[in-house]
Every structure is written in structure tokens, then in C-alpha cells.
Amino acid sequence: ATPTAIMVGTGLGAKRGVLFKNAVAVETAARIEVVVLDKTGTLTKGEPEVTDVITDGRDQDELLRLVAAVEHESEHPLADAIVRHAERRGLDSVLAEEFENVPGHGAIARVANRRVVVGNQRLIQREDIDLGMLAERRERLAGSGRTVVIAALDGRAAGLIGIADAPRETSTAAIAELHALGAEVVMLTGDNQATAQRIAGRLDIDAVIADVLPSDKAFKIAELQRTGRRVAMVGDGVNDAPALAQADLGIAIGAGTDVAIETAEVVLMRSDPLDVPTALRIGRGTLRKMR
């Protein structure tokens, strides 16, 4: 594109809070065929709230107190939601020892002399724990679009915590616009398949890549690129940075983490998913002008 056309493009973007960091990004935006979006914090508000506490029969508060003790040491947004929920219920905090963070899985610690494992199914499987009678409840909760955190005490499944994170108001409209631009829309998430599938269905997303470890997000982008198409990745988290770098075009949510914003070539200052199709349209408009 001519320098003038590019300047007009970046200027137009800036006015709408779509920051292109360089000229090449404007041209790449014009040629995107697949748009991959992270789920949590990108398509959703990233404000998880506990909605359900299910136990194996023991008192809910007893379970919550132990789980919150572990999550108190974690920096994960899900951990935050659980700690806040425990506080709202007025539960006193207990000390966790020997805390171990397991990225993409959950966390483990000793609380009140018990080994408390808190995380997803992958972690529970890794620990060789059987969900038993909680298996069916877990499936139902996940099928309703909740993220399910499983808690185990001393090697036995003890409860489930259902967490909801509402989609951003404009997510559905953004996906419809991306479709109108001819793009395939893919959701990429570390969350489980059933939860992701339910939310993706509501938003009319074409494909779901779920249960992805933080270290594998970039690899999934590379796989899509191997189909010969140009791929944009939209994300907000530390987890997303390698995928943003791998994509032909990395787009960061302005409210996201510094690492994501630094890695991406485009930053959406308003954190509005609708600005993803806007970015692609600005790219296309710029290319048209230079012809």
C-alpha cells in the first residue's frame, strides 16, 4: 500500500481505538481468512462468578473454606472468583501450605493437614482421582456453559464449583460481522470442551479448539496456518502471547495483560469484540485505495 493510504488507515483506526502498531499490520488485516478468538476475557467479560457449589454430601462451606485457602495463593481469575465467593459467605480464611501451581490445570496445597487438589478434569485424571457420583453432575454443569472447578481431598473427589463468565454484549454481533466478511471464526480455550461448545453455540462460532494447554495455543495457530490460510488471533491473557506472536496478525484486547498488548500488532483500546471486524475492514479499505 502507498504510505498515504496506510496513514489514512492507521488514522481511521486510531479514531476508533483500533491501534495498528505498524504499516504491515494494516495490509495483513485486509487478507485475514480465519479469526481465532480466546474465550475467557476476550469473548467473555473475564469476570467469573461462582454460581454453583456441589458437594459429595459434606457441608458446602466446609468445602469452600478448603478450596478458597488453596485459591488464595493462586493468581488465576477462577481462583479470584472462588476466594471472593468465600469472602461473601463470611468464611474465615485458612492457611495453605506447600502450594503448587499447575499451569493449565489448577493448583494443589495442604490445608488443615489435608491434601487439597483444585482444578479441571485433566488435573483430576493426572492425580488418578475418580469423580464417582460427581461425574454426572460435572457433565451437566459443563453442558450448561459453566466452567467447572473440581475439588479433591486426600485423593477423593469432594465437590464441584460451577463458574459463569458472561459473554461480552457485542460478541454475537462481532462474529456475525466476521462471517459477513467471509472469515471463519474459531474459539481457542484452555477450558473444557463441553463448556466451550455450549458458549460457542450461543455465539454462532464455527469451530472450537478446547482443552488447550497454555504452551499449546501457538501450536494450534500454526496448525491452522498449515491449511494455507492467513490467521488472526485475538486474545487478552499471558497465555495468549505466544499465539498472538505465531498468528499472521495478533490482536490484543486493550483491557488485557501487558504481555498480550506488547506482543500484538493491533490493540483494541475499547476492548470491544466488534472492533475485530472493524480492523479487518480498515485493512481492506486501505488496500482498495492503493489499487
User: Collapsing DSSP states into helix, strand and coil, what is residue 90?
Assistant: coil
Site string for ligand ADP, 131-150 (x = CB under 6 A): ----------------x-x-
Shortest distance, CB of residue 287 to ligand ADP, whole angstroms? 33
Does residue 38 have an active-site annotation? yes
- Dihedral sign for Cα atoms in the order 136, 137, 143, 148: negative
Give the range of 7-15, 135-143, 187-195, 267-275 binding ligand ADP by CB under 6 A: 187-195
By the rule CB under 6 A, 221 interacts with ligand ADP: no
Shortest distance, CB of residue 38 to Mg ion, whole angstroms? 4
DSSP string, 4-70: HHHHHHHHHHHHTTEEESSHHHHHHHHT--EEEEEIIIIIB-S--EEEEEEESSS-HHHHHHHHHHH
Give the one entry of Mg ion, ligand ADP, none that residue 147 binds, where binding means its C-beta sits below a cut-off of 5 to 8 angstroms depending on kind: ligand ADP
Name which of 105 and 281 has its Cβ closer to ligand ADP: 105
Residue showing the smallest CB distance to ligand ADP in the complex: 190
Name which of 191 and 272 has its Cβ closer to ligand ADP: 191
Give the range of 105-113, 169-177, 197-205, 281-289 binding ligand ADP by CB under 6 A: 105-113
The set of cell numbers assigned to 290 is: 492503493
Q: How far apart are alpha carbons 24 and 41 in whole angstroms?
A: 27
Interface contacts to Mg ion, rule CB under 5 A: 38, 40-41, 236-237
Residue showing the smallest CB distance to Mg ion in the complex: 41
By the rule CB under 6 A, 239 interacts with ligand ADP: yes
Give the one entry of Mg ion, ligand ADP, none that residue 236 binds, where binding means its C-beta sits below a cut-off of 5 to 8 angstroms depending on kind: Mg ion
Q: How far apart are alpha carbons 247 and 225 in whole angstroms?
A: 8
Quick one: 193 exposed, middle or buried, by C-beta within 10 A (0-12, 13-18, 19+)?
Answer: middle
Question: What stretches of the chain show up as alpha helix (H) in DSSP?
Answer: 3-15, 23-30, 60-71, 77-88, 121-126, 134-143, 171-180, 193-203, 217-225, 241-246, 258-263, 275-290
Binding site for ligand ADP (CB under 6 A): 39-40, 71, 74, 76, 78-79, 104-107, 118-120, 147, 149, 189-191, 214, 237, 239
Catalytic residues: 38
